Structure 1
């Protein structure tokens, strides 16, 4: 069997007289090629490192922007919820708290009278309330302190106020002032939230 290799030239063998065309491995051309390869490799590696750093910075900037947008959206949502609660809170402070204060006045009086009686056991207790609060307070405190108590009305007092006198000691209860303080604090809070919301 005959092969076809004789028909094609063999480039693996050195042709006669080719000794001058061989490249010297330590010659200037080979050194130049190595330096060019190393320079290209280093430049490619530097480009890859720079591209990776740029990608990282871009991702970091996008993440920071997304977090900032989320925080802004969250603050807006909280501000909207709080501002939508304003009418409810105004109803509570304007209508519910005064009613609770009227019914809680008797309990406040009893709470204040106890320590005063202990300090001045031999003195009588005089409680002054607004005319419109008399019946509510009388129903609550007269059964608790029937013998030592004198409940009178004072037209200068508002419905959430009372003046307690036990001997020389005197205390004032002013639930109306407390309600006013709560109302003012609530108004200031909602004003602050509204300002932050409008300023962004």
Structure 2
């Protein structure tokens, strides 16, 4: 039996080093430590039609907020009529256990997408989403977060993200005029010997 406090601390330190060194999760395998991941589920909790009219007039007001595991967005979608059906569904596009969870929110309406009309009909709506799941925080900070890509009638309409360093949300790459990320390296061309 070990009664010396120094030996007890040494034994605990050795056991901790063995657990950390032998586990693919490292320090997260220790008690009270966890691999904090992004949320695993995104659920539509509220949808409300606020107004309808010409798209230019409807788009003058938009807002969004995030907090307490909820996201709220007020914006506009093009439709063929003021009472057109609008469908909403979400999908997770990241694998389970990812540090950064990625989602897509699809909003589809009865719309031909025509922009030639002097008054293309649009509906302003408010949508609330709830994020849940994922691993909880441990004692030590761990990189985690989420990114949400918004699609209206199959087209990009925005991107929201909340991540901790060193994760990158990379929302810019979804914008309509985005350029692909490039990595440059010098290359040497040798001429064939004759």
Structure 1 or 2: larger strand share? 2
Normalising by the residue count of structure 1, what TM-score does the alignment of the two structures yield?
0.24
Structure 1 or 2: larger helix share? 1
Normalising by the residue count of structure 2, what TM-score does the alignment of the two structures yield?
0.25
Larger Cα-atom Rg: 1
